[in-house]
């Protein structure tokens, strides 16, 4: 209110709606929207939320800060262009927040009054600091009584398979999943991060058989994940002729039961049966492998600033729940026997394209599908979630449709409606480009080394970095992550180590460079953050565009900075990291065009100009930092 009154504007008009439609305390552009809605609703004779919801942010800033496509108001009595001209004429000439709008056909574009940007938007950002872009009201369960709790989302992501390679699909799930988890947190939701390990199934029987032949306690202690991978690879090799034989038989329509009743098939199945029966010795070995793996994972995820609330996994699904699922399926006549296994024929039940799925195998073993369905019921009971999101590659699109459909068939469409599969495309050529990578730690190590090589190429700058290893680690991780988050999730992309580690183009190192450069401004100017705050508080006029210097550069930068909370709100809809990243690159490009025009050290006009510009850059740095952290990037200081 006091910021608004300083520029001669009254209090923010309220927009009706429950839950509240406008969030002016979290999104500065909502202040502008509220004023426009208030003015035009009166002229148009409609409700304020109708105008509010119709306002859009043009993708190109030359078309305005906001635009009203008049047909969106659905006013039948007048032609849209006529109505638009009327709106323009009725809008006040000297509104403190807007330049006088000029109709463009059926569109009414609004440009923010340049003075309002440094006087309103910049202090708005400074007042919020680390919470700029957050909107805790979104996750409120009851807006009238905010203390009655928040909505809860379960984010299931990463979910590697024990004793198997951590492949690019797991990497993407980790990066995208952690982003979505952070996004929900900033929007006030309670978030439970779950890692659903592939820690059950016949392959564990095979791993145990391999351990008896090739296992070494010494190796296991030294490099547990590598050793388990190695043991599994060796036993799998020995097993593959038998697998081929069985596959061939199946392809020829012969019965495979006999083949699978001997050799490694039999050994594997016997061990896994012991596990499913809860045999102590079998379980002890399995638990050891699981615990050691989780231990190593925790350490590696920490390099990405990720921690999980729960390491669950296929093994953790309640047996009783599995039985309950099956008995409901049987009761409802959905479950069918087919050559000794239990299946669901989705096609027959009206779900075109879902085919037939085995739910319990011929050997009596539970399947991936059965475990997933039961896990949903377990989690509902444990967490009473409002929403559950699975971040898994598009290769499992069909699979998740089957899982969700099965939940519906159990008679729980209400529960199925709370489930969402967030998918993503492939990474092409990661292992061949990076060399020997099988573990998450390999991927991160190799990226750090590649980054370190690039850094060494600039000797002068390299010499100025205090701890090059630590910087290479952070920037190398940013390189991998930004490459992954640049496009739409669904797109495949080639793993390109040269491009991703480059300081030029829209890369992770470039964003880190931008942050480090902004960070150096205060240091070089000999100013503290407190100097800026004092200036903002005591000299509001000292921020006016003419003090900041060249009008359009500072104004355009501030216009962009004002959008950040709208961008995070949009990201909650798209669940696309690229929504944030694209914005950050626009911000970075705008910044780089400002440096020559809006110098801080040695600025003409003395200390006032210097401090005002330093405040502008510090505000931009804050926005950049918020966005980077939301994406999971750890901004470097130098």
Residues that bind ligand ARG (CB under 6 A): 156, 159, 161, 196, 198, 372, 390, 392
- The minimum distance between CB 603 and ligand ARG, in angstroms, equals 55
- Kindly report the number of other CB atoms within 10 A of residue 56's CB atom: 14
Nearest residue to 376 via CA among 429, 412, 341: 412
- The minimum distance between CB 166 and ligand ARG, in angstroms, equals 9
Alpha carbon of 345 to those of 352, 417, 628, 637: distances in Å? 10, 21, 46, 58
The yes-or-no answer on residue 164 being catalytic is: yes
Nearest residue to 119 via CA among 616, 601, 620, 599: 616
- The minimum distance between CB 192 and ligand ARG, in angstroms, equals 14
Q: Please say which residue, 422 or 522, places its beta carbon nearer to ligand ARG.
A: 422
What are the φ/ψ torsions at residue 379 (nearest 5 degrees)?
A: -70, -35
- The minimum distance between CB 401 and ligand ARG, in angstroms, equals 13
Q: Please say which residue, 155 or 472, places its beta carbon nearer to ligand ARG.
A: 155
Q: For residues 347, 352, 353 and 357, what is the CA-based torsion angle, rounded to 10 degrees? A: -30
3-state secondary structure of 366: strand
Q: Please say which residue, 30 or 156, places its beta carbon nearer to ligand ARG.
A: 156
**C-alpha to C-alpha distance for 614 and 521, rounded to whole angstroms:** 7
How does DSSP assign 288-334, residue by residue?
Answer: HHHHHHHHHHHHHHHHTT---SEEEEGGGS-HHHHHHHHHHHHHTT-
Backbone dihedral region for residue 527 (phi beyond 0: left; psi -120 to 50: alpha; all else: beta): beta
Active-site option among 26, 107, 167, 535: 167
Q: Please say which residue, 110 or 390, places its beta carbon nearer to ligand ARG.
A: 390
Element spanning 248, H or E: helix 224-251
Query: Both tokens of residue 95?
Result: 């509104």
Q: 């369960």: which residue's tokens?
A: 141
What are the φ/ψ torsions at residue 202 (nearest 5 degrees)?
A: -60, -25
Q: Please say which residue, 32 or 297, places its beta carbon nearer to ligand ARG.
A: 297
- The minimum distance between CB 239 and ligand ARG, in angstroms, equals 20
- The minimum distance between CB 163 and ligand ARG, in angstroms, equals 12
In sequence order, what are the residues at sequence separation of 6 or more whose Cβ sits closer than 8 angstroms to the Cβ of residue 426?
168, 169, 393, 394, 492
Taking CB atoms, the residue at the shortest distance from ligand ARG is: 198
Q: Please say which residue, 91 or 390, places its beta carbon nearer to ligand ARG.
A: 390
- The minimum distance between CB 2 and ligand ARG, in angstroms, equals 50
The burial of 517, by beta-carbon neighbours within 10 Å (0-12 exposed, 13-18 middle, 19 or more buried), is given as middle
Active-site option among 100, 151, 164, 387: 164
Q: Are 272 and 205 in contact (CB under 8 A)?
A: yes
Q: For residues 361, 363, 364 and 370, what is the CA-based torsion angle, rounded to 10 degrees? A: -30
Q: Please say which residue, 361 or 468, places its beta carbon nearer to ligand ARG.
A: 361
Q: Please say which residue, 373 or 580, places its beta carbon nearer to ligand ARG.
A: 373
Interior/surface letters 323-362, b for 16+ CB within 10 angstroms, e for the rest: eebbebbeeeebbeeeeebbbbebeeeebeebeebbbbbe
The distance of Cα 609 from the centroid of its chain, to the nearest Å, equals 39
Q: Please say which residue, 110 or 196, places its beta carbon nearer to ligand ARG.
A: 196
- The minimum distance between CB 379 and ligand ARG, in angstroms, equals 10
The yes-or-no answer on residue 474 being catalytic is: no
Active-site option among 23, 26, 152, 170: 170
Q: Please say which residue, 156 or 185, places its beta carbon nearer to ligand ARG.
A: 156
Backbone dihedral region for residue 388 (phi beyond 0: left; psi -120 to 50: alpha; all else: beta): beta
State the number of CA atoms in the 13 A half-sphere of 452 facing the CB: 12
What is residue 491's DSSP assignment? S
- The minimum distance between CB 390 and ligand ARG, in angstroms, equals 5
The yes-or-no answer on residue 170 being catalytic is: yes
In sequence order, what are the residues at sequence separation of 6 or more whose Cβ sits closer than 8 angstroms to the Cβ of residue 497?
433, 434, 447, 450
- The minimum distance between CB 391 and ligand ARG, in angstroms, equals 8
Report the catalytic residues.
164, 167, 170
């Amino acid at each position: 209110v006091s910021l608004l009154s300083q520029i001669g504007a009254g209090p923010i008009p309220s927009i009706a709606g429950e839950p509240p439609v406008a969030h002016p305390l979290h999104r500065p552009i909502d202040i502008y929207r509220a004023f426009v809605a208030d003015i035009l609703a009166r002229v148009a004779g409609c409700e304020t939320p109708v105008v509010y919801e119709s306002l859009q942010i043009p993708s190109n800033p030359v078309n305005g800060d906001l635009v009203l496509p008049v047909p969106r108001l659905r006013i039948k009595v007048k032609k849209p262009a006529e109505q638009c001209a009327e709106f323009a004429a009725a809008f006040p000439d000297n509104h403190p927040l807007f330049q006088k709008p000029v109709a463009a056909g059926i569109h009414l574009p609004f440009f923010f009054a340049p003075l309002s940007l440094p006087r309103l938007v910049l202090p708005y950002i400074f007042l919020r600091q680390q919470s700029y872009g957050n909107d805790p009201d979104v996750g409120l369960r009851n807006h009238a009584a905010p203390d009655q709790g928040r909505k809860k989302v379960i984010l299931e992501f990463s979910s590697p398979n024990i004793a198997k390679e951590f492949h690019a699909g797991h990497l993407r799930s980790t990066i995208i999943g952690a982003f979505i988890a952070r996004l929900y947190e900033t929007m006030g939701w309670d978030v439970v991060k779950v890692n659903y390990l592939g820690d059950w199934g016949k392959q564990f029987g095979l791993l145990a058989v391999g351990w008896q032949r090739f296992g070494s306690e010494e190796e296991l202690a030294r490099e547990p994940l590598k050793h388990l991978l190695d043991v599994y690879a060796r036993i799998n090799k020995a097993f593959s002729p038998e697998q081929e034989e069985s596959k061939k038989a199946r392809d020829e329509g012969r019965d495979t039961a006999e083949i699978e009743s001997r050799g490694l098939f039999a050994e594997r199945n016997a061990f896994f049966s012991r596990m499913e029966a809860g045999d102590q010795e079998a379980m002890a070995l399995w638990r050891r492998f699981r615990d050691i793996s989780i231990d190593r994972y925790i350490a590696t995820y920490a390099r990405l600033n990720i921690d999980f609330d729960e390491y669950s996994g296929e093994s953790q699904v309640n047996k009783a729940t599995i039985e309950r699922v099956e008995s409901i399926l049987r009761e409802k006549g959905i479950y069918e026997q087919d050559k000794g296994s239990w299946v669901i024929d989705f096609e027959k039940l009206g779900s075109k394209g879902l085919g037939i799925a085995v739910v319990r195998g011929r050997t009596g073993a539970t399947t991936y599908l059965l475990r997933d369905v039961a896990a949903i019921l377990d989690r509902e009971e444990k967490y009473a979630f409002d929403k559950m999101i699975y971040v898994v590659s598009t290769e499992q699109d069909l699979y998740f449709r089957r899982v969700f459909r099965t939940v519906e068939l159990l008679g729980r469409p209400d529960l199925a409606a709370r489930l969402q599969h967030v998918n993503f495309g492939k990474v092409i050529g990661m292992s061949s480009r990076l060399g020997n990578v099988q573990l998450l730690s390999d991927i991160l190590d190799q990226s750090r080394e590649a980054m370190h090589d690039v850094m060494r190429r600039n000797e002068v700058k390299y010499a100025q970095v205090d701890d090059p290893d630590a910087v290479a680690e952070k920037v190398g991780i940013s390189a991998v992550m930004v490459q992954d988050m640049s496009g739409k999730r669904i797109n495949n992309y080639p793993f390109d180590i040269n491009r991703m580690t480059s300081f030029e183009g829209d890369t992770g190192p470039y964003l880190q460079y931008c942050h480090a450069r902004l960070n150096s401004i205060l240091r070089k100017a000999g100013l503290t953050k407190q100097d800026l705050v004092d200036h903002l508080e005591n000299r509001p006029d000292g921020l006016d565009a003419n003090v900041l210097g060249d009008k359009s550069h500072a104004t355009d930068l501030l216009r962009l900075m004002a959008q950040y909370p709208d961008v995070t709100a949009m990201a909650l809809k798209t669940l696309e990291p690229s929504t944030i990243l694209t914005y950050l690159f626009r911000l970075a490009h705008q910044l780089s065009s400002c440096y020559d025009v809006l110098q801080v050290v040695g600025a003409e006009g003395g200390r006032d100009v210097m401090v005002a510009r330093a405040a502008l850059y510090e505000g931009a740095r804050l926005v950049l930092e918020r966005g980077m952290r939301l994406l999971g990037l750890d901004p470097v200081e130098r």
